[in-house]
Amino acid sequence: MKILAIESSCDETAAAVVEDGRTVLSSVIASQVEEHRLYGGVVPEIASRRHAEAIVPVTSQALEQAGLSLGSIDALAVTYAPGLIGALLVGVNFVKGLALSTGLPLVPVHHLRSHIASNYISNKELKPPFLCLVVSGGHSHIVLVEDYTQMKIIGKTRDDAAGEAFDKAARTMGMPYPGGIALDKVAEDGDPHAFVLPRPVVHDAPYDFSFSGLKTAVLNLLHNARQKGETLNTADVCASFRYAVVDCLTTNFLKAAEALRMDKLVIAGGVSANALLRRTLQAECDKSGRQLFMPEKALCGDNAAMVGAQAFYEFQSGRRAGADLNAYATKSIEEG
């Protein structure tokens, strides 16, 4: 089954053709990073306009790259939640128009479910059930994936997402957007024990995260040094902050895995490309005998291939949308 999928939840306009949920026939991404870098982050209105400009050529290129016409496609898929509402609406309305004109079935796909599904492309042997750590710029969740379309939130952030904390800390240090990627690279040359930073704990929810206090701690460290005229080693600050964030993520994730007796662990989302997170979890899983599955780094960020992968399983479960499909800025992964 060949699915043409569209992703426009943030600042990447993407289209892909995916066969049977595991094989990528084409994947095209039009990134807006250079434009948003001028402003230090994503400007929603600009993102929406660029999606409107790019979505037709990106879709055409994806079909051409796959060597297919619309007549060879079996279904359409689109990210409909969560994300920037204006950006999502561009993709949703475009695909609704395609569905109306072609008569093809339309499958609505949740963005975080798509990130998890990126692992089905990179790890073709992976099947539920498993426990997944989904970490990105806007989300930090521990999700029990009971089946391809049945998911339960075990833990989540109470405030900032891990990726958001990385980006804000990086911006304070003068790093270009997207800051999390730059911070990760600089941290490789630093001492992770140079600065002691807090590990916030949510006492009434042992698997939940809280990153706002940790983010504030590193911002105060930087601001206080500047007020005193001191110069801190940037690589050491980055390494210490990255170590603290990864420590919080891995501690709760492994604690949940132990409590639920899950031996198959998965990571997904933009922050799953973080070098220390990947190394730490791999080392811990090697020690405990657990399996760890990670998407290849090219699939960690937003793309349409992951949308097409999840859409295959949503289609099999009977999920369809009509002309009344709307976009949603927020929606639980449990709802789909």
Check residue 41 and give its pLDDT. Answer: 87
Domains (ranges, CATH) in the chain?
A: 2-116+300-316 (3.30.420.40), 128-294 (3.30.420.40)
Tokens of 185: 């690279």
Show the CA angle centred on residue 325, arms to residues 161 and 52, nearest 5°.
Answer: 70
- What residues contact residue 97 under an 8 Å CB cut-off, 6+ apart? none
Quick one: angle between helices 275-288 and 234-260, nearest 10? 40
Q: pLDDT digits over 261-297, tens only? A: 999 999 999 999 999 999 999 999 999 999 999 999 9
β-strands 2-7, 12-19 pairing: antiparallel
Show the CA angle centred on residue 40, arms to residues 110 and 54, nearest 5°.
Answer: 50
Look at residues 14, 12, 11 and name the one whose alpha carbon lies nearest to residue 27.
14
pLDDT < 70 positions in the chain: none
Which residue in this structure is represented by tokens 């210490």? 240
Give the distance, in angstroms, between the CA of residue 109 and the centroid of all CA atoms in the same chain: 14
Residue 20 is classified by DSSP as T
Show the CA angle centred on residue 127, arms to residues 112 and 116, nearest 5°.
Answer: 15
Check: pTM over 0.85? Answer yes or no. yes
DSSP H helices in 103-211: 111-122, 162-172, 179-187
The 10 Å Cβ neighbour count of residue 279 is 11
